[in-house]
Structure 1
């Protein structure tokens, strides 16, 4: 299968000036427009023609879509040094960031990661999933199971090799998450221990666990390479593949970037910390573009933060669908001057009357440059950060207006169903 690729700009640090916007979209949060194709700067063209991100590239044989990146940018006890929050239960109590015991982590987490196979007619796809409770609920990516709606069959294979039928409990295309329920699950299921992505720091050691290329139970290790990386997923392939679906609302994720190798089939699998706790759901990878069409790991993978994934999973199990936080603005990429410095951020094009943004005092022309202390370097960055928040949460917005930076507090509402 040929895998589409898209050239995108180099990854800039958070807050670095981005390119001039071309399109506006609503951060409340609908997804942004399809990726804007740009050439790399400062690269030898023959060596690395382009970098794309393949969201569905992590589900072998399934829906393949292209995503792009926007421009934007100690010394405690061993157990505490691996702490990222989340559950008080620590599967690997001897964990240490400086010297992780990956053998112990593998033993602790592997029983909680499953292989997912979807078949429809003569075609199919494979991905991964994470057991999140003893009722048989498995968290995975939406694009892993999206082809099962039209007569497709889902099979869930546990770490011991036993396979069970599965059904979809709920799907949320806008976050690329889904929950599968194992039919008549065994009583000895091993749910994954939940961590917290909020406690992660760049440089923390992590392990990716999944089913790459159909090789179940594969683990790879690396570090957290970046946090709050805005990653935009859009499009799909056409042709005769029954799994191919045109994605009308691209996914925007404020993602965890990792150097742990992830490949087709890892999608929906676990990203865990050195204590064996879930911190993310692997969902996309960067790939070398150009005519070669390579789609293997080049050391840049992305995961949906567990704090967002767990919130969505709770809703999918409860209702089969999920609601999302709503700020109520239409942003574009922009920049503004503060003294001698130029700041990049999300320029507010319009504010929805009565929305959280309106009540907070956001105005047309404001430049949002931060959310809860995290730098906003683009419109996509704002979308991803707000989308990851829970409804009803209060966020602190750093805003530049008339050459001065100020702080506004906004309590997020619920996105209208048509925009969710």
Structure 2
């Protein structure tokens, strides 16, 4: 996947790729196989930031799909209590699901949100972050901190204290990273992690972050859509593909890595990107995207424990496609190739099959399947539903561990 390093935003004139596209420039390469190792053609390198409005700031942000970044917590798969939840005595809940008291929620959660200042060879950048635990671990986006020079990372707490930090681990595949305070104070306030699977379209949400360097900025809105496939470039040149939470809360450059809260003050996502119109508008147009906390939490936990993340592997090459089944046309992921000996091969997936579901999740195209696979864990058993010769067939697959590409 692709994630932008924490480099500064481009200066005028800004590129104007077609909409929608990630923080870099469009058009983007075909969606890579969600599970087949190997690089995908990187997007044209013009600016270090994508075009979904990334929220890590460095000068400006532009274009279609720009990564925003941050938030997330330690949810696992399935989502058991996380480190952050264990250390938080009570949920900072205020208001109700139908009538949020945003003033109270903002007051409760503000101490869990931090601002990041990053120095890179290309210049300074900014982003947001979320306190995971009392050990000083902070979750943010990989594109916020990627490229940071030694000694070039500072975290500003909500009370104004500025503390040095180091990168504990980063995962360009999901555009997530964990940084750790060098000398964490004993009065940190870990965020409470919620359950992104419990979200519904129309639910009230609140984004908190550091847009354009304006720390502790709060914006509210609703969940506009769920499982929205979003692809942005990563710091390693392959696409970051996420089934994102789409929101209409204002998200801007610098929000990257910041938390998205529900009406009870629980983290449900990590803001990472925004859509922007071609032509130069770089701010929010009401189309923001967040990485679901259930994915972000699992990745964060692995980064804290090992510094790396094991990703699931299916072993197919994909394209968008359609299939006729039961008298109807359905969209899905067309299998263009199967890696010999891969989980897909062993399950009986064939070239020409159209994948329409993974477990209980509907698959609407190549990016959709890629994101669903990346949400799962290696060793997980799943049902892959394919349409072959006009008939739907369920195949059983055990996902393997994706091999790490050596640079």
Which TM-score applies when normalising by structure 2?
0.83
Give unmatched runs, 5+ long, in structure 1. Answer: 11-20, 37-51, 70-83, 236-244
Corresponding position: 1:358 with 2:384: no
Q: Equivalent residues in 2 for 1:144-293 (5 A)?
A: 144-148=144-148, 150-151=149-150, 153-234=152-233, 247-290=236-279, 293=280
* Structure 1 CA distance for aligned equivalents of residues 363 and 388 of structure 2: 15
Distance 1:63 1:298, change over 3 A: closer
**Off by >4 Å, runs of 4+ in structure 1:** 21-24, 29-36, 62-69, 84-90
Q: CA deviation at 1:62?
A: 6.9
Number of aligned positions between the proteins: 368
Match for residue 27 of structure 1? 34
Match for residue 8 of structure 2? none
Q: Does the CA-based 8 Å contact 1:311-1:390 persist in structure 2?
A: no
Q: Equivalent residues in 2 for 1:10-409 (5 A)?
A: 23=30, 25-28=32-35, 33=41, 54-55=51-52, 57-61=54-58, 91-120=91-120, 123-148=123-148, 150-151=149-150, 153-234=152-233, 247-290=236-279, 293-409=280-396
Give unmatched runs, 5+ long, in structure 2. Answer: 1-10, 22-27, 67-78
Please state whether the residue corresponding to 1:167 is helix, strand or coil.
Answer: strand
Q: Does the CA-based 8 Å contact 2:93-2:263 persist in structure 1?
A: no
* Structure 2 CA distance for aligned equivalents of residues 29 and 223 of structure 1: 35
Please state whether the residue corresponding to 2:106 is helix, strand or coil.
Answer: helix
Equivalent of 1:7 in 6, 9, 18: 18
* Structure 1 CA distance for aligned equivalents of residues 264 and 367 of structure 2: 32
Which TM-score applies when normalising by structure 1?
0.80
Equivalent of 1:411 in 387, 398, 405: 398
Q: CA deviation at 1:333?
A: 1.1
Please state whether the residue corresponding to 2:163 is helix, strand or coil.
Answer: strand
Q: Which moved more, 1:271-280 or 1:357-366?
A: 357-366
Q: Does the CA-based 8 Å contact 1:120-1:151 persist in structure 2?
A: no
Match for residue 77 of structure 1? none
Q: CA deviation at 1:67?
A: 6.2
